Amino acid sequence: MSREGVSEDRVRAIFEASYTRLVGQLYAVCGDLSEAEDVVAEAFAKAVQHRSKFERADNPEAWLRTVAVNLSRSRWRRRQRGRRLERLAQGQAQGDERHPEIGVERLAVIAALRRLPRPQREAIALHYLADLPLHEVATATGVPLGTVKARLSRGRTALAALLAAHDEELSHDR
């Protein structure tokens, strides 16, 4: 079998083993299932495109996660620029709120996560939802370990406040 065939088989095997897990992790980061599926698929395409880098990776899934997180960040920045231009042109903000059918509690957590600053949301999603150790979160996000710890601490505090406010709103509505 040619080297190229072996490599494609390896990428396919890694895809089958980790696609669903990576989509779940990226969904927690970006809050949009379609976006998560797109960036994970694009990360796998980059693995094929940059085969030599991918094959040298000690942890292929971590390599894919880092690429997918970076792609998600780039898309987010592009959307933010577009939204700012749109607001300037129209004088109002417009948003796209799409959620898959999920439970009320999960929806509340996702809504609260989406309100956190992106760096805190990424740290929380990667550490608590993807079960990555702190040093892997630091590697995936490209920041020092101390920064990850600070983002987690601030993110937990903010998330607790957002969820408490949500619970209070629900109790007043009953």
Report d(CA 131, CA 159) in Å as an integer: 18
Write the pLDDT tens digit of every residue in 13-64. 898 999 999 999 999 888 889 999 999 999 999 988 888 888 888 899 999 9
How much is the pLDDT for 86? 60
Separation of first and last alpha carbons in the chain = 66
DSSP 8-state code for residue 142: T
Which stretch of DSSP H or E encloses residue 158? helix 145-173
Enumerate domains of the chain plus CATH numbers. 1-98 (1.10.1740), 100-174 (1.10.10.10)
DSSP 8-state code for residue 116: S
The residues, any chain, with a CB within 8 Å of residue 34's CB and separated by 6 or more, are: 98
Structure tokens at 14: 């890694």
Residues of the chain with pLDDT under 70: 1-6, 81-104, 169-174
